[in-house]
Amino acid sequence: MSPGKQASESDAAPPMAAGIELEKMRRRVRLSRLALFTAIAAGPVALGVAVMSGPTTAKAAPSDKPAAVRTAAAAADPVGYAQVFVGAWLRSSSDDEGSAQARLAQLLAPDVDLPDPVAGAQPELGSVTPVRSAQRDAGEWAVTVAAQYADGRVRYFVVPVAADASGSSFAVTGAPGVVAGPARAVVARSPYGVSVPSGSDLASAVGEFFGAYLTGAGEVDRYLAPGVKLSPVSPAPYQAVAVQEVWGAEEAAAAEQVPADGTEVRVRVQVEARDDAGRWPLAYDVALKSRSGRWEVAALESGTVRDGGAR
């Protein structure tokens, strides 16, 4: 056979192979349709068998993203459950197991003994507040709560709590234990290190703003930068507000004259609010922006700001 003829047959091989594969595929499709029509004629049972055992099988394309597995027990945090239990446990007595508090404590923790307090020897329990929770193992938690008494005393209790696999049911698994309270955290140095004069334009601006914000004296909107929306406290909780101190995070906050338009500063404002019930020292973090020779409130921020910029 000549090289030219061999080459022509070799070139024709791939199309011929592709044609054969295509014909096989068409034949499988025709067989599938025939089996399906036959099953329909035979009845619903045969139809189910035909669908489940058809000659062609479709495979889902593999996904690059891992399947998300939700662990409800890991997401459940039983702080409220522990809070209710400790409150009921501290208010109950083994001498009165039929009381409402004792029954509640036994319902939440059937295997935990009730306390036996001496009547009148312990101050009245005021409130029980969750402090922190930590997950030890899957479904096992240690919840710390603070019990505050009427005389100002505070005791901390840690409670072991178990959660079921769904994270919807809890159980106290042991008696509470008295532990030391959380240590006081080391606080970073405040970014507000610039003293703002009491008679400055900025101090006057924040004083007028808080007068409107907390006492209803005037409209709050007139002290806000364009585009800022801030509603006053309603009903107004105080009758008078006076600025005590203003500290800035930027030197521009202490400028004698209002700087160029668009200058932004952050300040910590200490105010004294008064009402019929007394005097109340309050503090706010405020962002201001200069415009047309005056300071305007750009944001009333919560918490503290960190060095390096506003949050």
pLDDT value for 44:
43
Average pLDDT estimate for 282-300 = 97
284, two tokens: 């706010």
pLDDT per residue as tens digits for the range 121-135: 888 999 999 999 998
Domain 74-179 class in CATH: alpha beta
Burial of 23 (0-12, 13-18, 19+ CB in 10 A): exposed
Kind plus residue range of the DSSP H or E element containing 196: none
Residue 233's pLDDT band (boundaries 50, 70, 90)? very high
Quickly tell me which residue has 């400790």 as its tokens: 86
Buried b (16+ CB within 10 A) or exposed e, 276-309: eeeeeeeebbbbbbbbeeebbbbbbeeeebeeee
> Given this model, what pLDDT does residue 111 score?
92
Two tokens, residue 94: 């083994």
Q: Is the pLDDT of residue 303 over 80?
A: no
* Percent share of the chain, pLDDT over 90: 62
| pLDDT band at 136; cut points 50, 70, 90 | confident
Q: What is the mean pLDDT of residues 235-264?
A: 96
Nearest-angstrom CA–CA distance, 201 and 257: 7
Place of tokens 């890991």: 74
Q: Are 85 and 109 in contact (CB under 8 A)?
A: yes
Q: For the ranges 32-41, 159-168, 284-293, which has the lowest average pLDDT?
A: 32-41
CA distance 235 to 204: 24
Instruction: Give the integer Cα–Cα distance in Å for 213 and 28.
Output: 78
Nearest to 294 by CA among 251, 249, 248, 263: 263
The CATH number fitting domain 194-301, selected from 3.10.50.40, 3.40.50.720, 3.30.70.120, 3.10.450.540: 3.10.450.540
Q: What is the pLDDT of residues 44-64, one digit of tens each?
A: 434 343 434 444 433 444 445
